[in-house]
Amino acid sequence: MKAVGIIGFGSFGKFLAEKLSSYARVKVYSQSGRTSSWMVTLEEVVDVDYLVLAVPLDAYTETLEAIKPIVKPHTVIVDVCSVKVKPVETIRSIMPDQPLVATHPMFGPESASVSFAGHTFVMCPEVSTTEPYENIKHFANSLGLGVVEMSADEHDREIAVVQGLTFFIARALNDMGIHDQKLFTPSFERLLKLADLEKHHSLELFKTIQQGNPHTRAMRDNFIRVVDDVNNDLIRK
């Protein structure tokens, strides 16, 4: 990699800057007010080979409209959002001719604090530009990441279960206040770990996974129906 720009300096944007600075010249732009040696202006951050959008999904339109007049034609937009169909549609509607690579790094500052090796990196070839897609795939493999290729829609269907349902249950468990117990079993401790999962993720990520994925609501509704069925069976008996 040559030069990488990152728009957004939340926990994941900062994590990427720290990790990628060992492999490329990193520039960061953020409106958060945070300071860093990587910080540059918006005009400077787009003057790169690869431009990573590390902003919440609901900030995609504003961000893309801001960079559209100043980004170079060769600059590759790298989408790292936790859902795929909606961000890709947004990027293509605003910047239809810009090179694009759609990905989902299924790791973060905590899980990959030591190394990328062994973590899953989803890539969507059918909505990506071929040459930069292959370059990023090669780079991901060199880091020891497990590259999984699938369509954007297939990704969102899988993530509706893998993250959508998991985060939904975790938030519900936290809202129930299940930590206030004196007795523990190994199974209950695993349940507490699931509840703690939600504490490590931002509200923006939770909303993106729940509201930005066209398949997550159906998964939530189905889960609630099944829980109601189990409960009703117990009541009838």
At 121, which CATH number?
3.40.50.720
pLDDT in tens, the chain (237 residues): 689 999 999 999 999 999 999 999 999 999 887 778 999 999 999 999 999 999 999 999 999 999 999 999 999 999 999 999 999 999 999 999 999 999 999 998 888 888 899 999 999 999 999 999 999 999 999 999 999 999 999 999 999 999 999 999 999 998 898 888 889 899 999 999 888 877 777 888 899 999 999 999 999 999 999 999 999 999 986
Is the same domain home to 99 and 170? no
Is the same domain home to 22 and 120? yes
H-helix or E-strand spanning residue 171: helix 166-176
Nearest to 79 by CA among 219, 174, 208: 208
3-state helix, strand, coil in the chain (%, to 5): 50, 15, 35
Q: Are strands 76-79 and 100-106 parallel, antiparallel or unpaired?
A: parallel
**Six token digits for residue 108:** 């973060």
Is the same domain home to 135 and 224? no
Q: For position 1, what pLDDT does the model report?
A: 61
Is the same domain home to 166 and 132? no
Q: For position 158, what pLDDT does the model report?
A: 97
- CA–CA dist 216, 168 (Å, integer): 10
Q: How many domains does the chain have?
A: 2
Pick the last residue of a domain from 99, 133, 150.
Answer: 150
Is the same domain home to 118 and 186? no
Q: Are strands 120-123 and 3-7 parallel, antiparallel or unpaired?
A: unpaired
Is the same domain home to 140 and 185? no
User: Please, are residues 106 and 83 in contact by the beta-carbon 8 Å criterion?
Assistant: no
Is the same domain home to 64 and 143? yes
Q: 159: how many CB neighbours lie within 10 A of its CB?
A: 23
Domain that holds residue 192: 153-236
Is the same domain home to 159 and 230? yes
Pick the last residue of a domain from 150, 174, 196.
Answer: 150
Q: For position 55, what pLDDT does the model report?
A: 95
Q: Are strands 146-149 and 120-123 parallel, antiparallel or unpaired?
A: parallel
Is the same domain home to 12 and 123? yes
Is the same domain home to 76 and 94? yes
Is the same domain home to 133 and 160? no
Tell me the three state secondary structure of residue 57: helix
CA angle 96/120/130 to nearest 5° reads: 30
Pick the last residue of a domain from 100, 135, 150.
Answer: 150
- CA–CA dist 87, 122 (Å, integer): 15
Is the same domain home to 192 and 220? yes
Whole-number Cα distances in Å, 102 to 33, 151, 229:
28, 10, 39
